[in-house]
Amino acid sequence: MTKRGLFILFEGADRVGKSTQVQSLTNHISNSRNLPTKSLRFPDRTTPIGQILNQYLQNSTNMDDRALHLLFSSNRWEAKDSILELLNSGTNIVVDRYSYSGVAYTAAKGIDVDWCYSCESGLPEPDIVFYLSMSTEDATKRGDYGGERYEKRPSWKVINANRTVEEVSNEINQIFDFEFESLQKKPIGTLK
């Protein structure tokens, strides 16, 4: 029987090294376990919705804050079926940003956190969230990052990203290897 894939998420501010670590863990899973593993990122700028987001991010369009939030969220909803297909067929996914970025960026504009999060409810839930933090001070403030209630179900790991790429990836690989088998036995979760 094929075991399901894991949904591993990386969150953190710009330039903390998310993309590097996404690539590194993707390679680690494929090489050490010989399992199919795919990396994804949000926003996915390749879809029609993603192209609108790309135009916004490149400063060529203005948009109402809530309309923008809904587009970022839609960009995840349109990926839902393919995410579930990948996981159910045994492919691990390593994802660069997801719902928590969505909530954090919009809530930072003063929009109600619960409203922000409600759009995410029902999406596939990550099994592990690696939060790449640049200082331990940030780590203790991580409750701000989308709100503590959102950290309850998936397992959040705060990783000090202010070290060499190898030090960071060694810690991430160790955590992944430690959690892998027990997480595979859990059913795929849903964001509440």
* Contact residues: ligand 2DT, CB under 6 A: 42-43, 57, 72, 97, 101-102, 105
> Residue 5 or 12: which CB sits closer to Mg ion?
12
Query: Whole-angstrom Cα distance, residue 58 to residue 55?
Result: 5
* Per-residue mark of binding to Mg ion, 10-29 (x: CB under 5 A): ----x---------------
Query: Whole-angstrom Cα distance, residue 148 to residue 86?
Result: 28
> Which residue minimizes CB distance to Mg ion?
14
116: three-class secondary structure by DSSP: helix
* Per-residue mark of binding to Mg ion, 57-96 (x: CB under 5 A): ----------------------------------------
> Residue 57 or 67: which CB sits closer to ligand 2DT?
57
> Residue 6 or 95: which CB sits closer to Mg ion?
95
Long-range CB contact pairs, 55-64, < 8 A, 24+: none
58: three-class secondary structure by DSSP: coil
> Residue 14 or 181: which CB sits closer to Mg ion?
14
Question: How far is the CA of 12 from the CAs of 49, 144, 161, 177, in angstroms?
Answer: 23, 12, 9, 21
Where on the chain is the footprint of Mg ion (CB under 5 A)?
14
